[in-house]
Structure 1
Amino acid sequence: MDLCHVPATREKGWYLALMAPNVKGPNYAWLDPSRLYCHPQGLQDCVADLLQPFQGDAIDMVAGIDAMGFILGAAAAATLRKGFLAIRKAGHLCVQTEAQPYSDYSGRQKLMELRTDAISPGVAAICMESSEGGKWIQERYKCSHCVPPRLQPRFDQHQLGWD
């Protein structure tokens, strides 16, 4: 899809076709969203879709996980006129932090950290996959994502094959 093209009808998830599958192997994420971030209307519609379930909710801050979550999280925070909390890979913050182990997209065990002076109770999440981690989040938190139900199986199986 052309980076300037905007479809005449924009249904939820139309912008997902801007993303490209991994061609470099297992050390990389299975999908590259950077073209989506370059498309002004695609990025705007994606953020609007992600924020839709939270309309009317009292939101104090938006958080995003290192590194791709920084882009959509910061865009969501700017749209809401709220602050943004970066959840970083361990060792990158020079302030007091809380740490949590997690598995990244390749299955590697890592630690993520966030600054303790910026957090308070109450969490919502955005998930794209119905992975083990994604299901765990969806069972515990109010969730949003931008993948239409008809495309969800492709994300779950890491196959896009756009029609």
Structure 2
Amino acid sequence: MDLCHVPATREKGWYLALMAPNVKGPNYAWLDPSRLYCHPQGLQDCVADLLQPFQGDAIDMVAGIDAMGFILGAAAAATLRKGFLAIRKAGHLCVPTEAQPYSDYSGRQKLMELRTDAISPGVAAICMESSEGGKWIQERYKCSHCVPPRLQPRFDQHQFGWD
């Protein structure tokens, strides 16, 4: 899909076809979302789909985890006219933080940090894959994602290809 094309009927997730598969190997994420970010309607529709389940909810702030979460989280925060909290890889914040270990897409153990003075309890989450961590989040928090149910198995198995 080129950067100018917008389908006549825009179903949830149409913009996922803008993402390109990984061609560099297992040390990289399985998809590159940068073309989605460059597509004005695709980015707007993605953010709208991610925010849809939270219509009417009182939202104080949006937080995003590294890379994709920074871009989509900041876009969601701007749409809501709320602040944005970046959850960073350990060692990048020069203020008091809370830390949480996690495994990234390649299975490497890492540590994430967020500043302690920016948020209070109450969490919702946006997920893309039905990974072990994603399932844990979905069981405990109100969640949203932009992957239509018919495409979820492909995302879970890191298979690229669109109907």
Query: Structure 1-normalised TM-score?
Result: 0.99
Runs (4+) off by over 4 Å = none
Offset, 1:74 = 0.1
Secondary structure, in 3 states, of the residue corresponding to 2:117?
Answer: helix
**CA deviation string 1:66-102 (max 9, x = no partner):** 1221000000000000000000000000000000000
Task: Please give the alpha-carbon distance, in whole angstroms, between the structure 1 residues aligned to 2:52 and 2:64.
Answer: 17
- Aligned residue pair count: 163
Offset, 1:160 = 1.9
**CA deviation string 1:103-158 (max 9, x = no partner):** 01110000000000001010000001111011000001000000000111100110
Q: Where do 5+ consecutive residues of structure 1 fail to align?
A: none
Query: Structure 2-normalised TM-score?
Result: 0.99
Task: Please give the alpha-carbon distance, in whole angstroms, between the structure 2 residues aligned to 1:53 and 1:94.
Answer: 34
**CA deviation string 1:23-77 (max 9, x = no partner):** 1000000111110000000000000000000000000000000122100000000
Task: Please give the alpha-carbon distance, in whole angstroms, between the structure 1 residues aligned to 2:130 and 2:67.
Answer: 20
Offset, 1:17 = 0.2
Task: Please give the alpha-carbon distance, in whole angstroms, between the structure 2 residues aligned to 1:81 and 1:160.
Answer: 34
Task: Please give the alpha-carbon distance, in whole angstroms, between the structure 2 residues aligned to 1:145 and 1:66.
Answer: 17
Aligned-residue Cα RMSD (Å) equals: 0.5
Q: Where do 5+ consecutive residues of structure 2 fail to align?
A: none
Offset, 1:161 = 1.4
